[in-house]
Amino acid sequence: MLHSALINVMVKAARRAGRSLKRDLGEIENLQVSLKGPANFVTMADRRAEEMLYSDLSKARPGYGFIGEEGGSRVGDDKTHTWIVDPLDGTTNFLHGIPQFAISIGLQRESTIIAGVIYNPANEELYIAERGKGAFLNDQRLRVAGRRKLDECVIACGLPHIGRGDLELSRVEMSEIQNRVAGLRRFGAASLDMAFVAAGRLDGYWERDLQPWDLAAGQILVREAGGIVSGIEGDDEPLKSSNVICGNEFVHAELVKILKPLAK
């Protein structure tokens, strides 16, 4: 399958950083012996991957701005384009050797995400999307699932960590959704949760307290696969609200109807 030069740049960068993460994953087990070891090691792996991504992306598109989870913002001469990058989404999974983590690269033009690549080096699943050109998993065209009844749906969520977010609200949300769906899941990597919605594996997903790099690539994947993405208000932009609900138009509307009033 032929993709644009832009997508090729993003895929090449994701694969190179992915090889580095995969090598590092192999080391994690050896490091479990020391308590402090793994966490420091993961921080290193994370930073190394982000440096590779910054180096490759800025070489291919000089002047674009760069927002990364590890390095903060780097302003470029081109004020219209910004890379929004998570070098390791699903850090806790990675630290525990659970192969559900990814590199996530989004490209923003003005205020619109125009391209996204999500790559899980553990199973080599590569998700790509470009505005107006569809979403793909390893070159197979993606379409969100078509289910219209919530009680037939598998829905995923994200949960706040200790000391962050509103734990009580997350429990209320979970039990409300659990009462109405076929299955509730929590995988721990926001970008892949959205990629799974785009692929029709999950019918829907919601999470609060996310950052732009968790959301940028996933949001265009779901939209290009025919799904709806908003914040929990239902008509807001996730990159501004920092929370997300997505699914096909029916599932999205149902989730908004349940979740929106709970925060009030």
Give the footprint of Ca ion on this chain (CB under 5 A): 86, 89, 214
Write out the binding residues for ligand 2AM, residues 189-228 only, by CB under 6 A: 189-190, 207, 210-211, 214
Burial class of 113 by CB neighbour count within 10 A (0 to 12, 13 to 18, 19+): buried
40, β-bridge pairs: none
Nearer to ligand 2AM, 105 or 147 (CB): 105
Coil, strand or helix: which one is 157? strand
**Residue closest to 64 by CA, chosen among 51, 77, 49, 50:** 77
Helix extents (H) in 145-248: 167-178, 190-198, 212-224, 238-241
Q: Name beta bridge partners: 103.
A: 119
Nearer Cβ to ligand 2AM (4/175): 175
CA 119/CA 197 separation, integer angstroms: 15
Candidate segments 18-26, 33-41, 157-165, 222-230, binder of ligand 2AM by CB under 6 A: 157-165
Residue 90's binding partner out of Ca ion, ligand 2AM, none, with CB under 5 to 8 Å set by partner kind: ligand 2AM
| Least CB distance to Ca ion at residue 85 (A) | 10
Mark residues 59-98: x for contact with ligand 2AM by CB under 6 A, - for none.
----------x----------------x--xxx-------
Nearer to Ca ion, 98 or 258 (CB): 98
Instruction: Name the residue among 86, 89, 102 with its Cα closest to residue 22.
Output: 102
Binding site for ligand 2AM (CB under 6 A): 69, 86, 89-91, 158, 161, 164, 188-190, 207, 210-211, 214
